[in-house]
Structure 1
Amino acid sequence: MQHLIPRLVLAGLSGGTGKTIVSLALVRAFCRRGLAVAPFKKGPDYIDARWLAIAAGRDCSNLDPFFHGDEVLRSLFWHRSQGADLSLVEGNRGLFDGKDAQGSCSTAELARRLAAPVVLTIDCTKMTRTVAAIVQGCASFEPGLDLAGVILNRTAGERHRAVLRRSIEEYTDIPVLGMLPKIAENPIPERHMGLLSDQEYGTGAQDGQTALDALADTAEQWLDLDAILGVARRAPRMDPATTPLFDGSPRAKAARIGYVHDEALWFYYPENLEALAHAGAELVRLSILSGEPWPEIDGLYLGGGFPEMFAQRIAVNRPVLERIRSLSRAGMPIYAECGGFMLLCDELECRGADGSVGRHAMAGVFPAATTLCERPQGLGYTEAVVEDASPFFQPGETVLGHEFHYSLCLTGRGASLSATMRMRRGSGIGDGRDGLLYENTFAGYTHIHALAVPDWAPRFVAAAVRWRGSSGTGPTGQN
């Protein structure tokens, strides 16, 4: 029996058109009306997804045709949409932009896979009648796309808005669902990786909530929320998902895996943590900034984030850094991505506004340093072939992931680094390689999504169970 799942995809013509701000405004406005909103972010992203989760009051899942085949994609969307009155997917980049000239893995492709209507956000700065040509072109560019409406952003005044509306209504049959004025000051400032993270915004969580409510106020005033909700509710019914997110029944807790989640490291897909728990991990949240002692653990997961923003605080927290290094040397399974990899190197170099270079001692597991650059050193999807075994991957496997880092791995300091993966796509740590391995510590710039690498979590937990047994700790990691 098919089910009604009200849904829509909020897309843009390119990055920077304001689709994230509009998505946040819509999610918050609908939530304030008493609707349960399931937020999604298309493509690899942590910051936008985090803000969407805060706006909705529930986790935001990432949907990506590059990582997920049709069955997994629909299953993830189905399961996360349960209990929601509306599912809203924020696109990424331009509507038809994908990983090649054919638009593979684009927001438009995702919309077709989900049979979801699309609402297009258009930056109308210094534009009038041309907007109609853009709308008409997008509506007819690819077959099977349901362009259900447009939201006109950064309009200059009533006369400007009137010309825009008349042009679209005269030359197209696509409805205008709202027109936003230019906002003098973005309530959520941007930085080099997009929006400022909620961890850095203001002085606390309440500042973020205030900003989201201000966006919702703008949506209430300038957008036709009833019409937008009507677009979502006319989406075709969907067949129930027949594939569970994770294989088999949840396993009993067999090992304790710590994961660092604080202001410095917090890039984790919800599904990665859920996969570990499903495979039998008792998850323990840790911090590399706090002076609180860590409990006994059997494995350690170091996600990405912004360690460069807290380099000094990390560097002076020597007890935690020494603990990480000793656990690595003892053979505990440790998995580190991007910011976590930076933490495991000898040093982190940051350049000040005056050009001075500050060098901050890190955990020193790998004889390398990372330095922050002005431009991205790795950006986009990655595809790596595993050549050497580790607790997490086996030779011959292909690992799909993504990278977005401004830091560069510096080698050649008298020690050689041996990486376990060869990059078919992406930069990795350099020289077409990624995935350093020391004992049972694996680290690199590649971020993975557990649903795209289904054996990763069970192997992680199995390695933690083996280490617990060899180290003489009990079922919960206590001596």
Structure 2
Amino acid sequence: MKNSIPRIILAGLSGGTGKTIVSLALARSFSRAGKRVAPFKKGPDYIDAQWLGLAAGNPCSNLDPFFHSAETIRSLFFHRSRGADLSVIEGNRGLFDGMDEHGSCSTSELARMLDAPVLLAIDCTKMTRTTAAIIKGCAEFEPGLNLAGVILNRTAGERHRSVLRKSIETHTGVPVLGMLPKIASNPIPERHMGLMSDQEYDGSSHLDALADMAEEWLDMDGILAAAAAAPDFGPAPAPIFPGEPAEKKVRIGYVHDAALWFYYPENLEALEHAGAELVRLSLLSGDPWPEIDGLYLGGGFPEVFASEIAANRAVLDHLKALSASGLPIYAECGGFMVLCDALEIHGGSYAMAGVFPVSTSFCPRPQGLGYTEAETVRENPFFEFGSRIRGHEFHYSLCVSDGAPVVPTALAMHRGKGSAIGFDGFLKDNTLAGYNHIHALAVPGWSQRFVAAAARFKNS
């Protein structure tokens, strides 16, 4: 059976070449033109993915060759793309940049997995004919790469654009599908972890401005034709979550507000598939929490809302009481910070829940950045003992202790820094927390074990 999936990957020569702006612009423009856009982000990322979802009007999924097998990536992509008119995938870093000299886990590897045409964004600042040489090199560098077109970014004027186009047309067979002028600044505000969260302000006008720019400067019909020319995808892969969803037997709360909102959609879906009814909660609201059987605290920006969280003492005390009661609590990065004694930032110290006798201190530079690989070295409710867990970390805070007794840790870090020297996953009662982020499709059994732990607590 044929499966036609119009698709395009937006790639760059490096980080900062404008591929995020172009991806957002295309997703928003096609979406407001009435097309159903399925957005994807290559690599571990919450912020760009959130913006892509907002631009497209549909949730964004992450595709990562480090976490996922080729079969999982194809399955996730296929099932998220069903019914869409166009799938837009934003790459990360440079097109060929991966984990080693062979480019493993690169955007180009993902393009081959999905047999997807590539649209390359190039920063043309102070460059003309050399751009053609770069494009020619990229087109011929790896067998199997379908370089369907280029978008020239930060062009200086009509003369600059004319020389660029003629050089590329003369020396390469790669179509120029748009040339963007220089813009004074990023239209979406940034801060320490990238683009500012849409949870904190309405970014619709910024996205519409990007779409307006795309429609003025890009060959939208040519880009759509390149995506439509993608080869047949082939037979339908296996479902993302095999088998029928389990009957709902427990209630698992998850905090989703402006402070904590880093959740891969598949993580929440995995819990639901395993038999959880999910209940959305907040650290910033004064509303009392309902009765729950388990709690998931994702990452986010607790440092930005440290004073507001600290002032909500009723919720923090409730968190500590829930942990002491044996409620299964799984916390990642920002959620871990909330469970510590205090959060220190800009010379101030803000009392948190106090589940763990350590504090976190915000630093001007990243303290952990990149992929992680951990081994489960202690029995816990969420990971099988002895299992290997692939994840990622991206945090500016550092875990500090005042000499209190060391809390047991469940994870030994074989790659990445974690929250202690070579370890992560502080474990107390049934609460497991650390800097490591996971993707449920890369950690089989996590959701089932979480639901089973919640069921044991409920029945106790």
**1:297 counterpart (284, 292, 307):** 292
Tell me the equivalent position of 1:220. 215
Deviation for aligned residue 1:412? 4.4
Deviation for aligned residue 1:413? 2.5
Tell me the equivalent position of 1:474. none
Q: Deviations over 1:148-177 (max 9, x none)?
A: 100001111111111111111111111100
Is 1:374–2:369 an aligned residue pair? no
Q: Deviations over 1:19-42 (max 9, x none)?
A: 111000000111122111000000
Secondary structure of the structure 1 residue equivalent to 2:426: strand
Tell me the equivalent position of 2:418. 428
Secondary structure of the structure 2 residue equivalent to 1:451: helix
Q: How far apart are the structure 2 equivalents of 1:430 and 1:293?
A: 33
Is 1:5–2:8 an aligned residue pair? no
Q: How far apart are the structure 2 equivalents of 1:90 and 1:169?
A: 25
- More displaced 10-residue stretch of structure 1: 380-389 or 180-189: 180-189
Superposition map of 1:271-350 within 5 A: 271-350=266-345
Tell me the equivalent position of 2:236. 241
**1:456 counterpart (446, 449, 453):** 446
State whether residues 7 and 228 of structure 2, in contact with CA within 8 Å, keep that contact through their aligned partners in structure 1. yes
Tell me the equivalent position of 1:78. 78
Tell me the equivalent position of 1:444. 434
Q: Partner letter of residue 189 of structure 1?
A: P
Is 1:36–2:36 an aligned residue pair? yes
Secondary structure of the structure 2 residue equivalent to 1:93: strand
Q: Partner letter of residue 146 of structure 1?
A: N
Q: Deviations over 1:66-92 (max 9, x none)?
A: 111011110000000001000010001
Q: Deviations over 1:312-340 (max 9, x none)?
A: 00001000000100000010000000000
State whether residues 78 and 240 of structure 1, in contact with CA within 8 Å, keep that contact through their aligned partners in structure 2. no
Superposition map of 1:70-109 within 5 A: 70-109=70-109
Tell me the equivalent position of 1:145. 145
Fraction of identical pairs, as percent: 69
Deviation for aligned residue 1:2? 1.9
In structure 2, the gaps of 5 or more residues are none
Tell me the equivalent position of 1:399. 389
Q: Deviations over 1:218-252 (max 9, x none)?
A: 00000000000000000000123331111321011
- In the comparison of the two structures, how many residue pairs are matched? 460
State whether residues 411 and 417 of structure 1, in contact with CA within 8 Å, keep that contact through their aligned partners in structure 2. no
In structure 1, the gaps of 5 or more residues are 352-356, 471-479
State whether residues 46 and 264 of structure 2, in contact with CA within 8 Å, keep that contact through their aligned partners in structure 1. yes
Q: How far apart are the structure 1 equivalents of 2:445 and 2:236?
A: 21
Superposition map of 1:29-178 within 5 A: 29-178=29-178
Aligned CA-pair RMSD: 0.9
Secondary structure of the structure 2 residue equivalent to 1:108: helix
Structure 2 length-normalised TM: 0.99
Deviation for aligned residue 1:265? 0.1
Q: How far apart are the structure 1 equivalents of 2:409 and 2:103?
A: 32
Secondary structure of the structure 1 residue equivalent to 2:209: helix
Q: How far apart are the structure 2 equivalents of 1:184 and 1:386?
A: 48
**1:211 counterpart (206, 211, 217):** 206
Deviation for aligned residue 1:189? 1.6
Q: How far apart are the structure 2 equivalents of 1:121 and 1:461?
A: 44
Is 1:410–2:405 an aligned residue pair? no
Q: How far apart are the structure 2 equivalents of 1:388 and 1:348?
A: 27
Tell me the equivalent position of 2:180. 180
Deviation for aligned residue 1:395? 1.6
Secondary structure of the structure 2 residue equivalent to 1:91: strand
Q: Partner letter of residue 59 of structure 2?
A: D
State whether residues 303 and 338 of structure 1, in contact with CA within 8 Å, keep that contact through their aligned partners in structure 2. yes
Q: How far apart are the structure 2 equivalents of 1:84 and 1:240?
A: 17
State whether residues 3 and 236 of structure 2, in contact with CA within 8 Å, keep that contact through their aligned partners in structure 1. no
Q: Partner letter of residue 130 of structure 2?
A: T
